[in-house]
A and B are shown apart, each in its own frame.
Chain A
């Protein structure tokens, strides 16, 4: 079975779908929409197959042999270039316990958002073509193990996102789209610089014994591979690793989005159509934290150790600041956007723990935030479709008019609050258990628990303002959920519930990778402290 290139299939399938859509006549709207749904549906099936074949005991991280579904071959090779010698870039894909949950999440959310895209009513062909291109970009980011490839997918995702917000968005769509694009591109520049720096600092030994510079992420994690003089080499006394770490971190932090780089998010969310908000919150934000875990942590373990306190601090700021800002919002979507800022703070706090409980909690929180926030944005979409307003004070008493919908709303809200029995509780609890176990960030962790209270505050207040109380008679004609909306909300709710009751499905999946990572980080600590200048 290993001969089947599953990862390439799941990555490029949407691209294939895009070509189909481009070939379809513009007038055949149903076919265009269906292609999107079918293609992303097949992706979910593929993801399921990958999951069923996934070996839970292999760790990945810094050991190429324990990655799974690996596809690797030479992609670009230029024999001699002045100064640089041989340039080579691999087409290198593979997954481990860090990327697998996010891969599955991406497949799932893409499918749900494709269903949600049914409501898009103009320039369908362009929309769905862009949408599928976006999906390829997202999947690619999570499966790439070569920095060059990673960067290509990273940038590939930006372009369709820009158009999806800029063309199919709300009243201030141009502003939001440009802000999103420029901000992310700003981060990408840092990423690119660090990437080139790393390339010029580390070598990989080829089969014929020659040493060439490398973009291979796994090779970059091994300090033995660095040259004596490389600018980002730990062996070079005058290295710029600290600066590079910060630059790369900022590049990813913009995506998370970490305070103070978060302000593109509310604007992008408010203007984006529902489906794109779902993708944005469900998948895109995770790329930031994923990037930090995949690249910053293992490539620069010694600097990570130095900076955990700061990472935790910014995590805590995200949690509390995001929650407080959410509380003051009057626009439903903006509120959910700020709640994302708050919830992504938990991921950062968990990562900073540098132990299994915390990092498992962080990765699990990424997954759960994906499902829960997707549900929240769909919920906002439901009333926006019907009422064409998102003002929290414009509603009231919708529970009377739309009881089933309100049932789902309460479910999603309580999931976001971290009610036990639903998945969010487990990941938050693990984040806290892990972070509290790390002496360095113990105080920050205790302060962060306030986020639990604030989260309940703004969520329940919103629930009350929009759904409880007397029905605002203006809305006494709103229909309850339709079939399409059930199809989006039910699967998410089921997953949230199952993972809340039996979290081991997900925790076991990532367990050995997280353990590998924690061990690796701890071990490299001794390595780096042994280097004497």
Chain B
């Protein structure tokens, strides 16, 4: 086995969904069941991906497969030098893991949708859109350069737009899709600026070449400051796509899309692309850039968690929880806990997709009711959905024996260690507090949905467990949420194969004094001994992480337990009167219920401001700019009228005056010309006399 076929197979993984998209879209209603094309393709893609992923991880864990071709060749250019733009693929371990996550969830969602979307009038088109999404997402995962990533970045934006607005007859859906695209574009603008900076400085877009150049000491504009700026600008793309603060507002609205889409795009894969981006550019992130990342991550973990406490739409709660969990991952990367940040992406993808699909199953059973206040008692009606949902809730709360415990605990330990090393404990505090909130609001929706008495008897009566194709994905994802797939020791992820063999922190290429202090390898000799290991973290860090581990486990267990307990006390046993408490903290409650007024704020400032400016400019254009043009025309017309008058009265007047004058003279002389011979004779004689008097001088 030499792995040379991996690239070829990846090409199939990438392009097959695109083929599926075009065929399904064009055949559409003309061919009965054209959606089956997509189903078959997505299954084939899954099988290929399983082969590729595990061949890569088991046989070539330390090899990086790269293949590229020249897409645009501008040749040797004056002023700019030689520039070629390559398109290419790279398969390393995180690519392989990500491929598996995307392919698996994508195909599960395909199967699930067969039942969930049944009866929709644009059934085939829905599957076509899933196809173009899978294509775009695979592109992000497989690429080896930042420009190509940007290309697919925009394409997932398109597929997200199409799928959120799938039921575009609803204004809320078309609003949400527009909002998602535009808010994402704000982030993409930053990312694009980062790409421009990279191009100007390195004349390449390929990650490895950029890293190599930085490693050789070539910094943007020869300054570490600009390296930080490049890192932050690229990270802006992640802020948009992963719905991080302050661009998180699009994700809750995106829940207007069909629920399986929310599971695939807005929980497991596309929104995780931001985390993937940060993981890709991790080697070039300076300490300052990482700190920025961590701060954004912490804010994004905290704010949505507080909002999720009071929301009553089951999908909205899950959406806020997604932002919060993505914030966790981003924060983990930001504090240098690369492995756990990425690992959490994988485990979160499974249990969050499961939560959404479970919610979909509930919504399906309740005839498109999404308000948890109108549910209750569904445990008996939907047993499989309930038990899988319970496993997912345990996983997201970080209860031992679940996958979520492994990774969340790792992240918390990472922030804890960061606190020990730098004295900055804000991330650890945020992390632990959010862990408690998460446990609380997840069990809140679990209890309100499945426990207690049904709130809407009519809908309850008609509820029934979902069909096999919807249940099977839930069960599979629930199984994948158990620790055993990741490590043999349920309390220590480090000993598992995922962390020790598969996810390795890449070596930083940033100049040493611009990194986090603990990332500087202090003992280069020791580093040289373990040549296979990437040395990013110093001994000190490993030590700190080791110390942080046990307290972090215990504290997170206590807090998760407390959160769950509180949820039961509030909603199951009703020991605490929720309404009374709500009244007591009314302002806080309203603030959370209204999502911290982000939407209102953005609307009042940016949206209204922009529309206002655009209206003013349109007015300006119409009345001032065009007014000058029309004014010039009027002035010209006026001048011409004036010159017309002048011409008529002055110029022509002069002509006429001459004529009149001649006429007058004529008039005078006419009197003399009487036509009588006698008068003429008298005149002649008289004249003669006068002449004689003058000339002869008598």
Contacts and interface: CB of A to CB of B under 8 A. Distances in A.
A464 B174 contact: yes
B169 A328 contact: no
Contacts of B73: 504
Given A263-B629, A420-B150, A432 B75 contact: no
B193 A449 contact: yes
Contact of A260 (B151, B152, B186, B625): B625
Interface string B606-625: 00001101110110010001
B207 to A, nearest CB: 18
A327 B169 contact: no
A502 B70 CA distance: 11
A420 B182 contact: no
A469 B168 contact: yes
Interface string B63-76: 00000000111110
Interface string B83-104: 1000000000000000000000
Interface stretch (A80-88, A164-172, A188-196, A451-459): A451-459
A507 B74 contact: yes
A449 B181 contact: no
Interface residues of B, number: 50
A355 B77 contact: yes
A290 to B, nearest CB: 21
Q: Which of A399, A460, A518 has most chain B Cβ within 10 Å?
A: A460
A182 interface: yes
A264 B617 contact: no
Nearest to A467: B168
A94 interface: no
Interface in A496-520: 502-504, 507, 511, 515, 518-519
Interface string B130-166: 0000000000000000010011101100100100010
Contacts of A503: 72
B74 A357 contact: yes
Given A433-B196, A469-B169, A518 B189 contact: no
B683 to A, nearest CB: 57
A325 B79 contact: no
Contacts of A449: 189, 192-193
Contacts of B155: 419-421
Contact of A356 (B74, B147, B154): B74
A450 B72 contact: no
A429 B80 CA distance: 16
Nearest to B617: A324
Given A419-B155, A449-B192, A468-B168, A324 B614 contact: yes
A346 interface: no
Contacts of A163: none
Interface in A150-182: 179, 182
Interface in A105-145: none
B675 interface: no
Contacts of B599: none
B313 interface: no
Interface in B186-200: 186, 188-189, 192-193, 196-197, 199-200
B611 A327 contact: yes
Contacts of B369: none
B193 A456 contact: no
A327 B614 contact: yes
Contact of B189 (A357, A453, A463, A464): A453
A30 to B, nearest CB: 32
A327 B199 contact: no
B80 A325 contact: no
B512 interface: no
Contacts of A355: 77-80
A414 interface: yes
B547 to A, nearest CB: 45
Contacts of A383: none
* Among A263, A264, A414, A467, residue most surrounded by chain B Cβ atoms (within 10 Å): A263
A325 B611 CA distance: 10
A70 to B, nearest CB: 25
A486 interface: no
B171 interface: yes
B684 interface: no
Interface in A424-453: 425-426, 429, 432-433, 436-437, 445-446, 449-450, 452-453
B577 interface: no
Contacts of B161: 460
A214 B186 CA distance: 53
Contacts of A511: 74-75
B613 A324 contact: yes
Interface residues of A, number: 60
- Name the residue in B78, B161, B165, B174 with the highest tally of chain A Cβ atoms < 10 Å from its Cβ: B78
Interface string B168-184: 11010011001001100
Nearest to A456: B185
B655 interface: no
B174 A325 contact: no
Q: Describe B's contact surface by its main secondary structure.
A: helix
Nearest to A399: B168
A240 interface: no
A226 interface: no
Nearest to B125: A403
Contacts of B588: none
Contacts of B554: none
A518 B193 CA distance: 25
Contact of A446 (B175, B193, B617): B193
A457 B610 contact: yes
A414 B80 contact: no
Given A264-B629, A325-B614, A414-B158, A357 B78 contact: no
A460 B78 contact: no
B635 interface: no
A495 B257 CA distance: 32
A420 B151 contact: yes
B100 to A, nearest CB: 25
Nearest to A406: B168
A433 to B, nearest CB: 5
A400 interface: yes
B526 interface: no
B633 interface: yes
Given A325-B617, A356-B78, A518-B77, A504 B71 contact: yes
B600 interface: no
Contacts of B456: none
Interface in B532-563: none
Nearest to B168: A468
Given A182-B633, A433-B199, A437-B80, A419 B154 contact: yes
A321 B197 CA distance: 25
A461 interface: yes
Interface in A469-483: 469-471
A357 B77 contact: yes
A36 interface: no
Contacts of B186: 453
B614 A328 contact: yes
Contacts of B625: 259-260, 262-263
A399 B152 CA distance: 26
B171 A357 contact: no
B394 to A, nearest CB: 40
A452 B185 contact: yes
B652 interface: no
A236 interface: no
A354 B80 CA distance: 11
B626 interface: yes
A273 interface: no
A519 B78 contact: yes
Given A457-B610, A460-B178, 10 more contacts: A182-B633, A263-B625, A264-B629, A324-B617, A327-B611, A432-B192, A436-B199, A469-B168, A515-B77, A519-B78
In order of increasing CB-CB distance, the 3 nearest A-B pairs are A328-B618, A420-B151, A468-B174
12 contacts: A321-B621, A399-B168, A414-B158, A421-B151, A452-B188, A453-B185, A456-B181, A456-B182, A461-B178, A464-B178, A468-B169, A515-B78
